[in-house]
Amino acid sequence: MQFLIDFLLSILPYIKTIFLAIIPLGFIIFIHELGHFYAAKRCGIKVNTFSLGFGPKLVGIQRAGTEYRISLLPFGGYVQMEGESPTEQTGAEGEFASASVGNRAFVVAAGPAVNLIFGIFVYWLVFATGINSDSARLIGGLTGQTLGTKEPIQIGGMAPEGAGAKGGLLPGDIVLAVNGDAITHWSVFHTRILTSAAKELEILVERDGVHRTLYVTPEAVPSVRGDIGLIKVSAKDKTVVRDVADGSLAAQAGVQVGDLIESINGEPIYNVPYFGYGVWHPSADWSAEKHQALHQHINENEQSVMLGIRRDDEVQTIEMPVHWRVITNVQENSIAEQAGIQNGDVLAALNGEPIDNATLYSQLNAMKNEPIVLNLIRDGNLIEVSLVDVSQVSEADAPPFGLAWQTALSGMQFMAQTPPLPEYDLLSSLGKGVEATWLTFTTVGRTLQQLIGGEVSPKHLAGPIGIANATSRMFERVGLSSVLFFIGFISINLCIVNLLPIPIADGGQLLFFTVEKIRGKPMPRKAQEIVQQVSIVLLIALFLYITWFDGISLIHDIRN
């Protein structure tokens, strides 16, 4: 029983966030149905039921021949028109089938049209209220385009034994196309790799001004949705100095905030140097191993580290001694916080021995059953703290005792350089909203083309559960503008999917109306019934297939 109680308590936050995610997604479906409802009323078609939500009716009222109801499941809604189903058609006035072809097409198209208009409105609102770095990354990821200064899609870090290296890719290569399709954003390249496990890809790159065609076969890595592709490369980052401590060795050598770091000890830098606690985790991946190697390379000559720096148009080399400062970042309600450690404290000693960044992680994990005394420097004062209840921490806990850290090299801290974020007035925001809508159409269209061509498996698609899960994670991790943009993206997706020529979708009905207009009469009722029944079976099968993978992905997220 206790296990069941613990399990329910562990999943309550996920239920809450997913429920919060259902509300905006349900609203998107609701306004889709509202479009059908409004158009049907305008065309004189009798609407029997207009429901907010699905399932059993909770409450309802009758007005002008229409029952307005609220149903149990708050995910969207539906409109039930008189004579909408072929089996219910009598030819009476006011039935959906009795309306003109033009009116029926207007009613069917109104739903996707409202979703499109709503998506444009949300995009316009996001651009008008101002975008931040999170929303800029999200917009780039969803539309495949970069906001602000156009940056090349360039290879940065690379594992020597990875599929990318085996295929001939090199750090600094600019990716132009994959299988003939132009690559406009790193997320587009990442998706092509992810969905191409064990499939050879033709990659066009630019290297030293020359175009080269390479052939790379991503290795297949098992995941909850089946095999995914991996080539073990990362995007190139430009590294800038984020902070220089007053009086530090870096400050004395002349390093300034905003300096662009192009090399360390003569080695080109393709990614932001990071030497925090995560690099030293026992399960660290290839990218962490690259940071470990750079850390070792710097320590090979502690008397001198040489930085290749670009400042404006000037290139220079600055030399200074190597000195590491380990700066704490404490998790809330952790053992470290209870011991009195604060964010920004400098770790000086562990049980009387000087701190070694390279071995600190393993040392702490090895001391989970021993007394731990840490010496800290805070505001120039030396402080001693003791960690208690350390035996309660499991081997899987990361960071150990809730104590994370980052390092400063000779007083410097680094970050990735980001392009300046543009600002838009109301009119230009509308233009950007329309542009982003078109980019969304082209991105989704390209995905559908790859799906039909077998380049992308349906396993990688997301159904209602997957979309709700993604939306809930958006609420937790990013700002409001990012959530709004994602909701607009889903609304436009709903418009596109409903316009596909699938018989049960709005696009399928529009196709039937086109055939009817050409023939001068509707398709035979029996043929319509057969097509709809077959379509329903196929769509239910696809829905269950996608939902299965959404479900196991959600369970995987909860467990981890």
DSSP string, 34-91: HHHHHHHHHTT--EEEEEEEEEEEEEEEEETTEEEEEEEEEEEEEEEETT-SGGG---
pLDDT at residue 303, as a whole number: 87
Mean residue pLDDT across the chain: 85
In angstroms, the CA 182 to CA 436 distance is 18
CB hemisphere CA count around 217 (13 angstroms): 4
Greater confidence (311 vs 92) lies with 311
Residue 11 has pLDDT above 70, yes or no: no
Alpha helices in 237-369, H assignment, sequence order: 249-253, 286-299, 335-338, 357-366
Question: What percent of the chain clears pLDDT 90, i.e. is strictly above it?
Answer: 41
86 or 176, which is more confident? 176
CATH superfamily of 247-255+270-416: PDZ domain (2.30.42.10)
Kindly provide the residue ranges of all beta strands, DSSP E only, lying in 331-411, ordered along the sequence.
346-350, 353-354, 372-378, 381-387, 403-409
pLDDT of residue 255: 95
pLDDT in tens, 111-155: 999 999 999 999 999 999 888 777 777 788 777 777 676 778 999
CATH 2.30.42.10 segments of the chain: 152-237, 247-255+270-416
The enclosing H or E element of 97 equals: none
pLDDT of residue 465: 67
Model confidence over 179-199: pLDDT tens digits?
A: 998 998 898 899 899 989 999
What region does 416 belong to: left with phi over 0, alpha with psi -120 to 50, or beta? beta
Q: Partners of 161 in the beta sheet?
A: none
Residue 13 has pLDDT above 60, yes or no: no
Tens of pLDDT, residue by residue over 236-259, are 999 999 999 999 999 999 999 999
Tell me the pTM.
0.79
**Adjacent-strand bridge partners of 78:** 51
What's the pLDDT at 53? 82
**pLDDT band at residue 394 under the 50/70/90 scheme:** low
CA distance 494 to 122: 14
Q: Which of 318, 323, 327, 207 is CA-nearest to residue 261? A: 318
152-237 belongs to CATH 2.30.42.10: yes
CA distance 531 to 536: 9
- CA gap 314, 324 in Å, rounded: 27
The 10s digit of each residue's pLDDT in 14-30 is 565 566 667 777 888 88
